[in-house]
Each structure stands twice: as structure tokens, then as C-alpha cells.
Amino acid sequence: MAGYTNYAYRELLRMFGGVDLITTEMVSARSFVELDRRGSELPSRLWGVRDEQRPLAVQIWDNNPDTLSLLAQRLALEFKVSVIDLNFGCPAKQIANRSASGSFLLQFPDRIGDIVQKVTAAAKPVPVTAKIRLGRTRDTINAIDVAQSIENAGAAGLTVHGRTAAEMYHGNANWDEIAAIKSKLKSIPLIGNGDIRTVDEALFRIKNYPVDGIMIGRGSIERPWIFRQIAQALRNEPVDSEPTTKEIRNIIVKHFNLLKQQFNEHTALFLIRKTVCHYAINRSGAKKFRNEICSAKEPALFFQLIENFFH
Ligand SMILES: Cc1cc2nc3c(=O)[nH]c(=O)nc-3n(C[C@H](O)[C@H](O)[C@H](O)COP(=O)(O)O)c2cc1C
């Protein structure tokens, strides 16, 4: 998740456990190739990737198979990542409109197939997966065509977010549309994604839909411990209760310190403030707290506000 799943956040998830495969923020293949050509520092979204714990998937985006292949090959041979994921789902204007990438490509299943085929060849032996939405709009849903094109081109797995690009994040993810894809695939795993926010919702989707796995986005920003709880539930073990306010304070400190390994204090504070606002959801006084925390420019004030709110 762009703006969130940086090195620090991935480490935080590993600390809680329960998640089988963590994916980086989407990395622009074009920027990578350009920076590399100039001998500049690599994109900050690849920070930590070389050395951190595996398994780790790196998600990449562009519309040019050669550019994507260049990055995929480097990620496979030099960085030795576990999985390379191709983004064909992003609906953001900057990606879909201005760069004709992400969800823009959903209207061209053959082009997607061509990209997958070339990137798969370049990344060997590292598996290449793809992430899609149901289609560009409700009237042009074509996830089955796109899914088959992806599988036939040699992808190792497919994740589907059950919304169209036009829907952005509105309404509910349509899991029936995700389920309809399963019988049209020959063998690759299908991962369902969209609106899983609780352990019960995760279990419900796993038990009632023909998916091979689930992916959680926003729910894990609000509660990075959710994967651990889901894993416990799946093993029929007692599920950890929600962290106490003291534990939440400790999580915030840990996360802030991890962020400081990569970013300067100012940026680390900006990033941790975003996450902390999610932790405040459904707590009394959340609105006031969010306003205050968003204007905290110094760590001392930030931690004072945290102390007062999560007590
Ligand atoms: C802030 C934000 C950043 C995101 N960044 C990415 C991204 O880089 N790559 C991607 O495939 N999806 C990205 N997504 C989409 C999520 O991965 C996910 O498909 C979507 O939020 C639905 O799942 P959820 O309800 O579990 O969040 C992003 C979503 C949000 C809200």
C-alpha cells in the first residue's frame, strides 16, 4: 500500500506474525530504470528490500514490458526477492490516466498477457503474480478475461480486489465477482481482496468463497495485529484480545523507531501520525485527537498527545 507498507511497517507486521506474504508499496519501474541509468540512489520504496526477512513480494508498475522486465530481473537476481507482483489495479489518476498504467491496462487483456509473459521470463526463477480489479467500470467488467490472460502468460498467482477502477474505494467489494473467477482458472491460486477488517470477516471469506487466500489492506493499517489473530483463529487457537492502550503506546514507539531507521525525524513523524490516526478510530475523542496529532511537529508533543489519548 503506497504511503504505508514501507520497511518499518513490514517489520512491525513481522513482529506480530501471522502474515504469510508481505508486499512492498508499488514501485515505479520507470523511475527505477531512470535513477539507475543516472547512477542515482534507488527509489526509496526499495529501502530495506535487499536485506530484510523473506518471504517478501515487491510490487512494480508501468505499462512497458521492457521497463518492467529490467526491474524484475534486477529484483530477482540481485535483490533475490521472493515474488514480483505486477500492478494492474491502481485507479489513481497519476497512474491510470497520466501514466496509462495500473487499472488503465485492464481494458487490454492481451497487453497484460504480453507484460506478464515478458516479466515472467525476465524474473525466472522468481515467481511473478498480478493484482487486478474487476474491470474499469461496472459496465465493462472483464476480470475473467484478464485473469485467464494472466494465467496463460505464466503468472504464478492472481489477487483480485472486488471493485472496479471507477468505484475507487466506494461501496462494497463484490466477492461474488471474485468467486466467479475461480472456476475459470486452471491452477494458479486466487487471492481475494476487499473490505476485510475483522477476524470474523476474514474467516467468513475464507470459508464461504472459493479463494486460495485473502489479502488485507486498510484493515491492517488500522490493526497490524489482525494477521496474528486470523492465524490463531485458523489454527483453532484462542485469539489474542485487542491490545491494551499501553500496548498500543508501545507499538507506536516501536513503529516510530523503525521509521527513523529509514527516514529523518520530520518524515518519520509525518508517517507515524497517519498511522496513529487509524488507531484512534472508534475511540472517544478521536476527532479532537486527530486534529491535535496532525499539527504536532515535534516528537515530544506527539508523544505527550499519545500518552494523554491512549491511557
Ligand atoms: C492508501 C492506499 C494505498 C494503496 N496502495 C496500493 C499499492 O501500492 N498497490 C496495490 O496493489 N494496491 C494498493 N492499494 C489497494 C489495496 O491494496 C487494496 O486492494 C484495497 O484497499 C482493498 O482492500 P482493503 O479493503 O483490504 O483495503 C492501496 C489502497 C490504499 C487505501
Q: Cα(133)–Cα(143) distance, rounded to whole angstroms?
A: 7
Is 124 touching ligand 1 by the criterion CB < 6 Å? no
The arithmetic mean of pLDDT across residues 83-96, rounded, is 98
From the list 34, 62, 60, the residue with the least C-alpha distance to 46 is 60
Q: For 169, how many CA atoms within 13 A lie in the half-sphere containing its CB?
A: 6
pLDDT at 15: 98
Where helices occur in 81-195 by DSSP H, the ranges are 93-96, 109-123, 143-152, 175-182
Query: What's the pLDDT tens digit per position in 151-172?
Result: 999 999 999 999 999 999 999 9
- Please provide the size of the chain in residues: 311
Q: Is the CB of 195 under 6 A from ligand 1?
A: yes
Q: What is the pLDDT of residue 38?
A: 95
The answer to whether residue 90 is catalytic is yes
Tell me the Cα Rg of the chain.
20
pTM above 0.85, yes or no: yes
Q: How many whole angstroms from 270 Cα to the centroid of ligand 1?
A: 20
Ligand 1 near 278 CB (within 6 A):
no
Q: Which three cell numbers stand for residue 210?
A: 472459493
The residue whose CA has the least distance to atom 31 of ligand 1 is 218
Please give the pLDDT value at position 55. 98
What's the confidence (pLDDT) of residue 83?
A: 99
Residue whose CA is at the smallest distance from ligand 1 atom 19: 161
| Ligand 1 probe mutation, 13, 206, 218, most atoms within 8 A of CB | 218
Binned at pLDDT 50, 70 and 90, residue 106 comes out as: very high
Range 69-92 average pLDDT: 98
For 56-67, how does the pLDDT look when each residue is reduced to its tens digit (9 = 90+)?
999 999 999 999
Q: Which atom of ligand 1 is closest in space to residue 197's alpha carbon?
A: 26
Beta strands (DSSP E) in 62-177 are 83-88, 128-133, 157-161
User: Can you tell me the mean pLDDT for 136-148?
Assistant: 98
Q: Whose CA is nearest to atom 7 of ligand 1?
A: 1
* Mean pLDDT of the region 201-217: 98
Task: State the DSSP string of 237-285.
Answer: PPPPPPPPHHHHHHHHHHHHHHHHHHS-HHHHHHHHHHHHHHHTTTSTT
Ligand 1 close to Cβ of residue 196 (< 6 A): yes
Residues in Cβ contact with 163 at an 8 Å cutoff, skipping those fewer than 6 apart: 133, 134, 169, 170, 171, 173, 174, 194
Residue 18: predicted pLDDT: 98
What is the Cα–Cα distance from 153 to 120, expressed in whole angstroms? 8
Atom nearest to 221 CA in ligand 1: 27
Give the Cα separation of 30 and 66 in Å (integer): 10
pLDDT value, residue 134: 98
**What does the block give as the cell for 45?**
520504496
Whole-number Å distance, alpha carbon 307 to ligand 1 midpoint, is 30
What is the pLDDT of the chain when averaged over all its residues? 97
Closest ligand 1 atom number to CA of residue 220: 26
**Ligand 1 pocket, 25 CB below 6 A?**
yes
End-to-end CA distance of the chain: 30
Q: List the Cα angle 28/57/92 in 5-degree steps.
A: 40
Question: What is the pLDDT confidence band of residue 258, given thresholds at 50, 70 and 90?
Answer: very high
User: Across residues 275-280, what is the average pLDDT?
Assistant: 94
Residue 190 has φ and ψ, to the nearest 5°, of -110, 125
User: What angle, rounded to 10 degrees, do the helices at 65-77 and 109-123 form?
Assistant: 30
Q: Looking at residue 36, what is its pLDDT?
A: 93
pLDDT score, position 301: 96
